[in-house]
Structure 1
Amino acid sequence: MERAPGLSVRLKLTLSYAGFLMVAGVLLLAAVWLFLLRYVPDRATLIVPSGSSLTSGVFPVRSRLLQVFAPRAAEVLAILLVFGLVGGWILAGRMLAPLTRIAEATRLATTRSLSHRIRLPGRNDEFRELADAFDAMLARLEAHVAGQQRFAANASHELRTPLAISQALLDLARTDPTHDTGEIFHRLRAVNTRAIDLTEALLLLSRADQTSFTPEPVDLSLLAEEATETLLPLAEKRGVTIETSADPTPTTGSQSLLLQLTTNLVHNAIVHNLPDRGTVWVSTGVRPGRAVLTVENTGERLTPQLVSTLTEPFSRGTERVRTDHAGVGLGLAIVKTITLAHDGTLTLTPRPAGGLRITVELPAPDPRNDG
């Protein structure tokens, strides 16, 4: 936005300091003058002893006092003005020095990189709080940009893979007419299905990240039951037992997004389980002010370092990619995004016996607002 040039903040503060000092000086001199007018008579009679060269008579004391006081008062005000301008300029510069560092950090952030930090020294005050808040914002912004860059690179890689496979299959069909076309069509269909699943997952992740939904009352226990029933055939196919403990768990949010969150968690627990006789535990409940959904499964032992990376887009742990229903590497990333969009917290904890425990905590409605 184009703006008309104006006075700098430092100059405005300098003029404010000087003006305040001048007003205070004028008021002080006025008070002195009123004091003198109160106790000094208008005229005084001068009586001199005989033989003196002076003559007795009545003299105007106040007018003579004004002739002496006015020039001195003007000199004092001139000194105060100079002192106010010089001192105000120095003080304003010292007071605004932190803002200069913050402005320089802002320019660096817009023109170079987000790694620069202000790190304002000194004790805690308003400028220190502003600088620390700006540093924290830069850190979050840097992490967000880095995450977006990794996501874009990973998404490009994941989308390029099925396209490259499709291109290779088409080239094979074109150069080798004797090759089994039924097998080529089958593989093309599988690759195309994976590309479609990946694209839909990316769209869902983008939608959840925008938090563009209308909050409505949701019961997590009903969503857990629906997700379990939907994925029960997959669990039976893989020899996984699902145990549920769903107490009424009211919260507020998007019905469809929270159902997707629950489905992703249960699907992840089924797919990344033991090869046979695995178990999945799904439970919901209410804690003080929180609605809690917990999905726990058996499986291979996972290290805390590996678990901390599982919510990153396209992140897959060791031996976590199966031949079927492997997903596209966005399941837990979508869960994390939906959780954050609902002002919730997501906790992943490796089980000592193997497997993973995932807990989602969402804000619970205040019972006092019911009715």
Structure 2
Amino acid sequence: MLRWLPGDDPRSLQKTFGPVIITGPKRSDLLRGFAPAAAAALAFLLVFGLLGGWILAGRMLAPLTRIAYAARMAANGSLSHRIRMKGRQDEFRGLADVFDTMLEQLESHVAEQQRFAANASHELRTPLAISRTLLDAARNDPTRDQGELIERLHTVNTRAINLTEGLLLLSRADRRSFPREPVDLSLIAEEAAETLLPLAEKRQITLDVTGETTQTIGSTALILRMVTNLVQNAIVHNLPAGGTVTVHTEPQHDASVLRVENTGHPLPSELVPTLTEPFQRGTERIRTDEHAGVGLGLAIVHSIVRAHDGTLDLTPRPTGGLIVTIRLPGTPPQERGLSTC
């Protein structure tokens, strides 16, 4: 038997011994030996891949699951639920934070609307209840003075009408469904002051209008109502006599500024932020005369300012009274030139 070693030369062996046949393992033997190992490796890789993919997909989709759960909670009416996702700042964390912010704004808006509806219902019910009481009293006592009854009913109905008009104006301003045109705040201030001058003289209040031409873009009717409400509030919520109201207009950079300042009693700092809320009246500002209002004066002002993309700032004066500063977008130069042609 001839044994060939790896160092032997096949050609020298062929010369010495004749034809040489080298044999090795058969292909079928190799396949039978390799197939089970390959199948086991493939099965292991398949199971490992499926398990790893399931775990990885679960970790990646977990934030979407939390967001979907919060969305279902919001769809069912629960706006108080928050995702509050922790971890590194990635796309999922950003999406969750934006969703939480949206839910917070929705909850605040819904709560505000519910509070407004409840307050409006209460305010509207009051004059209607008074009217019913007066009519019942007149029916039970036919000898009662009809003139007094008519006068009181007129006062109550006027208050109800003013309240309804205020609510409609709030809705109109919130929808921003109004045409926009160039408006001169100085002319609006003069018109409002001229309209309310008799009221100021009756209360012995000095009313001054200062400043210069100040252009903005918006609704003339709404801005006039805004300035009128501010001036009327400044007159009504003032000193009993000898007070002052100053209305000042001026352009500042890209803004048009309207400032209404009035004397009066000192206002607590915690009361000032609530003055723009509908039907929120501070104790120090309640009036019981014919100009008591319906609690929508500054709320309407705030809504009109917001509808015109402006800002409203309330600052109590150290010596008493209030300073109201409104900043509205100024008129672009090209539009200002067209409005003066």
User: TM-score over 0.5 for the alignment?
Assistant: yes
Alignment-derived partner of residue 120 in structure 1: 85
Letter in 2 for 1:113: S
Report whether the alignment pairs 1:240 with 2:205. Answer: yes
Report whether the alignment pairs 1:331 with 2:287. Answer: no
Letter in 2 for 1:323: D
Report whether the alignment pairs 1:259 with 2:224. Answer: yes
Alignment-derived partner of residue 92 in structure 1: 57
Alignment-derived partner of residue 361 in structure 1: 327
Alignment-derived partner of residue 160 in structure 2: 195
Equivalent of residue 183 in structure 1, options 132, 142, 148: 148
Aligned mates of 1:86, 1:332 — CA distance in 2? 63
Alpha-carbon RMSD: 2.9
Aligned mates of 1:295, 1:153 — CA distance in 2? 31
TM-score by length of 1: 0.78
User: CA distance change for structure 1 residues 366 and 309 in 2, over 3 Å: closer, same or farther?
Assistant: same
SS, match of residue 188 in structure 1: helix
Higher RCO structure, 1 or 2 (CA under 8 Å, sep 6+):
2
Report whether the alignment pairs 1:228 with 2:193. Answer: yes
Aligned mates of 1:362, 1:247 — CA distance in 2? 15
1:199-245: per-residue Cα shift (whole Å, max 9, x none)? 11111111111111222222212211111111111111111111222
TM-score by length of 2: 0.85
SS, match of residue 280 in structure 1: strand
Q: List runs of 5+ in structure 1 lacking aligned partners.
A: 1-45, 57-66
SS, match of residue 315 in structure 1: coil
Q: List runs of 5+ in structure 2 lacking aligned partners.
A: 1-8, 23-30
> Which deviates further from its counterpart, 106-115 or 350-359?
106-115
SS, match of residue 282 in structure 2: coil
Aligned mates of 1:48, 1:107 — CA distance in 2? 83
SS, match of residue 248 in structure 1: coil
How many aligned positions are there?
318
User: CA distance change for structure 1 residues 289 and 47 in 2, over 3 Å: closer, same or farther?
Assistant: farther
1:42-87: per-residue Cα shift (whole Å, max 9, x none)? xxxx95541598548xxxxxxxxxx9xxx99999998777665543
Alignment-derived partner of residue 40 in structure 1: none
User: CA distance change for structure 1 residues 79 and 225 in 2, over 3 Å: closer, same or farther?
Assistant: farther
1:314-355: per-residue Cα shift (whole Å, max 9, x none)? 111123223121111001001111111111111111110000
1:2-44: per-residue Cα shift (whole Å, max 9, x none)? xxxxxxxxxxxxxxxxxxxxxxxxxxxxxxxxxxxxxxxxxxx
User: CA distance change for structure 1 residues 128 and 234 in 2, over 3 Å: closer, same or farther?
Assistant: same
Aligned mates of 1:79, 1:141 — CA distance in 2? 51
1:228-277: per-residue Cα shift (whole Å, max 9, x none)? 11111111111111122232222212121111111111111111111101
Aligned mates of 2:133, 2:139 — CA distance in 1? 10
Letter in 2 for 1:287: Q
* Correspondence list, 1:69-108, <5 A: 85-108=50-73
SS, match of residue 179 in structure 1: coil
Report whether the alignment pairs 1:318 with 2:283. Answer: yes
> Which deviates further from its counterpart, 215-224 or 180-189?
215-224
Report whether the alignment pairs 1:173 with 2:155. Answer: no
Letter in 2 for 1:143: S
Aligned mates of 1:237, 1:49 — CA distance in 2? 137
1:370 Cα offset (Å): 6.0
Question: Do the aligned residues in 1 keep the contact of 2:215 with 2:336 (CA within 8 Å)?
Answer: no
Percent identical pairs in the alignment equals 65
Alignment-derived partner of residue 342 in structure 1: 308
Aligned mates of 2:128, 2:162 — CA distance in 1? 13
1:155 Cα offset (Å): 0.7
